[in-house]
Amino acid sequence: MNYVYLLRCADGSFYGGWTTDLAARVAKHNSGKGAKYTRSRLPAELVYFEEYEDRTQALSREWHLKRLTHEEKLKLIEQSKAEQ
């Protein structure tokens, strides 16, 4: 399975990424060995993710998520919480 995710960093910013192992990737970010962006903004909390069978689809979605504004990311997170 392929996952696209958003983390909320300690400074309130968002980081988006792609992985095949969501739990391990979030743990790697929080250990300080993840993306350079998150290292100085720890801790990072997983606030949103989507699953994809196809890697190409996941990478395409990641590209689109990274281009959303902060407000658009907040709306996406809130919508997903409302659907749960």
Residue owning tokens 């689109």: 64
Cis bond upstream, residue 43 (ω within 30): yes
Domain containing 23 equals 2-83
- Structurally, the chain folds into a number of domains equal to 1
Distance of alpha carbon 28 from its chain centroid, rounded?
13
* DSSP codes of every residue in 4-59: EEEEEETTS-EEEEEES-HHHHHHHHHTT-S-HHHHTS--EEEEEEEEESSHHHHH
pLDDT at 56: 97
Q: What is the CATH number of the domain that holds 28?
A: 3.40.1440.10
* pLDDT tops 80 at residue 16: yes
What value does the mean pLDDT of the chain take?
A: 96
- pTM of the predicted structure, to 2 decimals: 0.94
Contact 70, 26 (CB under 8 A): no
